[in-house]
Amino acid sequence: MAIEKIHTENMFLHYGSKMALNNISISIPEKKITAFIGPSGCGKSTFLRSLNRMNDLIDGVKIEGNIFIDHINIYDKNIDVVTLRKKVGMVFQKSNPFAKSIFENVAYGPRINGIKDKNQLGEIVETALKNAAIWDEVKDRLGDSALGLSGGQQQRLCIARTLAVNPEIVLMDEPASALDPLSTSKIEELIVGLKEKYTIVIVTHNMQQAARISDLTAFFYLGELIEFDKTKKIFTNPEKKQTEDYITGRFG
Amino acid sequence: MTKKTKKEKRPEPSNSGLIDITRKKFRWSDYLAEKVIKGTAFLSITIIVLIFVFVFRESVPIFSSAKPVEKTETSAGAQPEQETYGEVTDKQVDPEVQETYGEVTDQPAAPEVQETYGEVTDNSEESGSTDESYTVSAGSGHDDNQTALKSLLTKDWVPVSEKPRYGILALIVGTFKITFISILFAAPLAILAALYTASFASRRVKEIIKPTIELLAGFPSVVIGFFALMVLASFLQDVFHYDTRLNSFVGGIAMGIAAIPIIFTITEDALTAVPKSFYEASLALGASKWQTAFFVILPAATPGIFAAVLLGIGRVFGETMIALMATGNAAQMGLNPFESVRTLAATIGAEMAEVVFGDTHYNVLFLIGSLLFIFTFVINAIAEFYVKGKLMKRIQGK
Amino acid sequence: MIRSYKNNIKGILIEGLTLSSALLIIAIVVVMVTVIVIGGKDQLSWEFLTSFPEDGMTKGGIFPAIYGTALLVILMSIAAVPFGTITAIYLTEYAKENSVIAKTIRFAVRTLAVIPSIIYGLFGLGFFIKFVGTQMDNTFMGGELKWGQPNILWASLTMALLTLPVVIVSVEEALKTVPNDLRAASLALGATKWQTIRKVVIPGSISGIMTGTILAVSRGAGEVAPILFTGVAYYVATLPASLSDQFMVLGYHIYVMTTQSANVDQTMPIQFGTTLVLLMLTFILNISAIVLRYRIRKKKSN
């Protein structure tokens, strides 16, 4: 069936002396939406950040075990982390546009990749903004500061910015948690549209959201991967008791 | 479904778009930037070390008695001491000249001073103008470093004479005296003002006080010195009726003005760093605002205030321009605040431009510099490590 | 009731005491400014600012001192601002907060900030003039004396060392106001660390770098002690034309005019005028720095 994109086996992660991820083994398919759910502090975000090595930036993080993307071990010592992050993009919980114009925000990635040609940049920006479903709203004011956009627009701009680098995987860390319902539904719609081209991994604390948009769902609890299966199965007939308790709202 | 199906590692990474992540790229710009930035960051440490090395290096010859003084320039040997610096502008200790400040050129030192110091008249050579040629090294030939070293701990500072003596005791006493006076003036004022700002002042009043203090911090010390010399000295003399117009009292007040912003700022920081919960708890127990300020906030911030005073001391101790302009510059040992004094820093500032490089006098000035440096370094280190540690303990209860 | 009445009195006394301390400080500042403004305002004229001293500095203007001050702070900034900025970047972007290196550098910076300015003067003399300058003379000038004596280059570099901590502290404060989210966003887009610093962090802290520069300039314009024997001159008839020339500055001009002038009474207006010019200069610089910093802090708290 689906082609495997991300694959981990017996992966552990420590923050200093504290174990944050315990023996994670998972296999995430290509061009699907995979959701990570679980109560806060369960390790889902930490795991997500391991997939493009953003955890490298945090002092005291130690990782054992391997993570493979397209069967390449991204924790191999020869891996070029900078290039990896271009291939594995990330959208953050809080929208974080640069204090630049809308255009420059999206053009940032291509520019650092050495694209200087104005026309080419213009095309990339337009495509990215269209893919992020925000083109119509901003096409007349690309020169305006990105900070003038609404929260939902900013988040879609951040998605566009990520897409402009042309990643293969897009990691999303609770991308709609800070938004109003209307903006949230727009973002959700957008995410569903994106899976045609990209492998998407999304962390969410909103179970309905996971149920609505994802193909597969992984339930994390206390640093462990409790259950991973088709979303439908997880939400209707989970195998583990803990999953069921969480889904039904008994804790978390 | 996909769970744990294709788990075996495949050595051939197929035709993945990620293939180019497997070759670590060497990025020149990043590598260079990091090296340059790292290297530059060490500059501040390097400078400290260099200051240590070079200020001490120039004072070392004093301790090596074997080396004779290099005479770069020998002046007419029998120069009368009074005239060491050509026209000496001796403004400090003559009662009669005090008021008519303008005419003080060519005044020999006051009789009292001569009595105290025998042949001393030249503790005024700071005023020898810089544009004069070096007629200076009078008598340095008679000296050697050993006698200089021996004379260090005496009270006679007579660097330019037939028999130069480099007793720095009077300078040290003068420096401490003036530091004491200025801290006595500045510390209570600054601390109380900071307490007001932190505990009582409304937002709007704060917005007046704080920028004013910042402005005061920006006052060049030469401007404060000028103010002290022109206005403050006469004013204080009118109030206190003392004889010597420029003295350690005037200098101390002027330096206190310079130290106020430091003490204020650090104290205010320490006071506002006291957790709000202390404040609220105290009020909840029925204490009034002033009781809280005095018995809760102030004690909790004591280490920080101590640091503030220490740094204020450091500031005053090494202050040069105010000392040059407002203290009278006579090296006297007395403890009377209304006598002229001469500080360590002012001595360097006044005399360094006129000494012969490599001369004993030159080395002694560097030695004084080393003392100043060590003193401020230690003060800062105490403020930094001891006090901060205590403050942390007190506030966070660690 | 009586107790609380007494307490009230005490409270009023204590608040009054602290208030009057604050007022006294403000009064001191106001008096100083007023005296200098009143004393110097009649002297201020275009001519005073743009002409040379005359008649053994008893008449004429202060142009060389203004020019020298400007040149000094420009050369100083060229040296101090890049080094200070880079050090601040190291401290915020590269060094780990609690590493020994970072702690040592921070301690060194704070020590530099408290070393008396006269010590910098000694260092400038011992290091720049007697060590570097003499070496340069021996190497390039065949022993002829050119760099081994006080000049504007050594004075500016000495002043740059003095103002380095000012720049570092201001820039560091500004760099810290750049949210970590933005750094993460840039890195997640595949930017390298240096690209992130260059394109996101530094542009986000330009105003901080400016504040630091202004404060450093203000400090450098007013300090006299460090340049007493590293390059400043009592009087030079020509403007400094090369780095090996001596120069005049406002602060030193005030000092020599008040303590060594042939006729202090006659030159009193010039003294007040010069002091007023220096004070205005530092005021303008400081106020703009205060405003800028206020804006940065506001941005941070948002």
A151-163 vs C180-188: helix crossing angle, rounded to 10: 30
Mean pLDDT of A177-191: 89
CB count within 10 Å of CB B360 equals: 26
pLDDT digits (tens, 9 = 90+) for B269-314: 989 988 888 888 888 888 888 888 888 888 888 888 999 999 999 9
- Cβ under 8 Å to A: B residues 3-62: 3-7, 9-10, 12-14, 16-25, 27
8 Å CB contact between B159 and B166: yes
Is residue C239 predicted with pLDDT exceeding 70? yes
Residues in A closer than 8 angstroms to C201, CB to CB, are none
In a domain, B205, yes or no: yes
In a domain, B214, yes or no: yes
Is residue A245 predicted with pLDDT exceeding 60? yes
A61-69 and A72-73 beta bridge pairing: antiparallel
Residues in B closer than 8 angstroms to C278, CB to CB, are 220, 222-223
- As a whole number of angstroms, the distance between CA C156 and CA A181 comes to 61
* B327 Cβ contact list (under 8 Å, min separation 6): B174, B178, B246, B247, B248, B250, B251, B340, B341, B342, B343, B346
Q: Does A30 touch chain B (CB under 8 A)?
A: no
Amino acid identity, residue A154?
Q
What chain A residue is nearest to B5 in terms of C-alpha separation? Answer: A27
Residue that wins the pLDDT comparison between B182 and C301: B182
A4-15 and A18-29 beta bridge pairing: antiparallel
In a domain, B254, yes or no: yes
Q: Residue B167 has what pLDDT?
A: 81
User: Are A82 and C191 a contacting pair at CB < 8 A?
Assistant: yes
Interface predicted TM-score (ipTM): 0.91
User: Are A112 and C182 a contacting pair at CB < 8 A?
Assistant: no
CB nearest A4 (choices: B6, B19, B23): B6
Is residue C160 predicted with pLDDT exceeding 50? yes
User: Are C35 and B209 a contacting pair at CB < 8 A?
Assistant: no
Which DSSP state fits C238?
S
Mean pLDDT of C289-294: 85
Confidence tier at B142 by pLDDT (50, 70, 90): very low
What chain A residue is nearest to B1 in terms of C-alpha separation? Answer: A229
Same domain for B348 and B209: yes
User: Are B9 and A68 a contacting pair at CB < 8 A?
Assistant: yes
Measured between CA atoms, how close is B291 to chain C, in angstroms? Answer: 8
For B175, the domain range is 170-396
Amino acid identity, residue A147?
L
Q: Does B203 touch chain A (CB under 8 A)?
A: no
8 Å CB contact between B269 and B363: no
Residues in A closer than 8 angstroms to C190, CB to CB, are 82-83, 85-86, 109, 112-113, 165
In a domain, B72, yes or no: no
pTM, full prediction: 0.83
Mutate which: C36, C259, C280, vs B, most B CBs within 10 A: C259
Q: Residue C4 has what pLDDT?
A: 65
CB nearest B89 (choices: C161, C228, C260): C260
Mean pLDDT of A97-124: 93
Q: Does B291 touch chain C (CB under 8 A)?
A: yes
pLDDT digits (tens, 9 = 90+) for A188-228: 999 999 999 999 999 998 888 999 999 999 999 999 999 99
User: Are C190 and A83 a contacting pair at CB < 8 A?
Assistant: yes
Is residue B8 predicted with pLDDT exceeding 70? no
8 Å CB contact between C293 and C170: yes
CB nearest B222 (choices: C104, C118, C255): C255
Burial of B287 per CB tally in 10 Å (0-12, 13-18, 19+): middle
8 Å CB contact between B350 and B330: no
Give the whole-number percent of chain B exceeding pLDDT 90. Answer: 32
In a domain, B207, yes or no: yes
User: Are A27 and B6 a contacting pair at CB < 8 A?
Assistant: yes
Q: Selecting from 3.40.50.450, 3.80.10.10, 1.10.3720.10, 3.30.360.10, what CATH number does the domain C40-179+207-301 have? A: 1.10.3720.10
Measured between CA atoms, how close is C220 to chain B, in angstroms? Answer: 9
Distances (CA, A) of C169 to A69, B387, C34, C155, C165: 43, 20, 32, 22, 6
In a 3-state reduction of DSSP, which class is residue B220? coil
User: Are B2 and A216 a contacting pair at CB < 8 A?
Assistant: yes
What chain C residue is nearest to A111 in terms of C-alpha separation? Answer: C191
Q: Residue B77 has what pLDDT?
A: 37
CB count within 10 Å of CB B330 equals: 27
Q: Residue A77 has what pLDDT?
A: 85
Q: Does B295 touch chain C (CB under 8 A)?
A: no
Mean pLDDT of C165-192: 92
Q: Identify which of C285, A233, C230 has the alpha carbon closest to the alpha carbon of residue B54.
A: C230
DSSP code per residue over chain A:
-PPEEEEEEEEEEEETTEEEEEEEEEEEETTSEEEEE-STTSSHHHHHHHTTTGGGGSTTEEEEEEEEETTEETTSTT--HHHHHHHEEEE-SS----SSBHHHHHHHHHHHTT---HHHHHHHHHHHHHHTT-HHHHGGGTTSBGGGS-HHHHHHHHHHHHHTT--SEEEEESTTTTS-HHHHHHHHHHHHHHTTTSEEEEE-S-HHHHHHH-SEEEEEETTEEEEEEEHHHHHHS-SSHHHHHHHTTS--
Mean pLDDT of C37-47: 91
Mean pLDDT of A169-184: 90
Confidence tier at B396 by pLDDT (50, 70, 90): low
Confidence tier at C264 by pLDDT (50, 70, 90): confident
User: Total structural domains in chain B?
Assistant: 2
pLDDT digits (tens, 9 = 90+) for B344-394: 999 999 888 788 877 888 888 999 999 999 999 999 899 888 776 776 676
In a domain, B70, yes or no: no
Q: Does A229 touch chain B (CB under 8 A)?
A: yes
- Burial pattern C233-244, b for ≥16 Cβ within 10 A else e, equals bbbbeeebeeeb
8 Å CB contact between B186 and B256: yes
- B partners (3+ CB pairs within 8 A) are A, C
8 Å CB contact between A6 and A69: yes
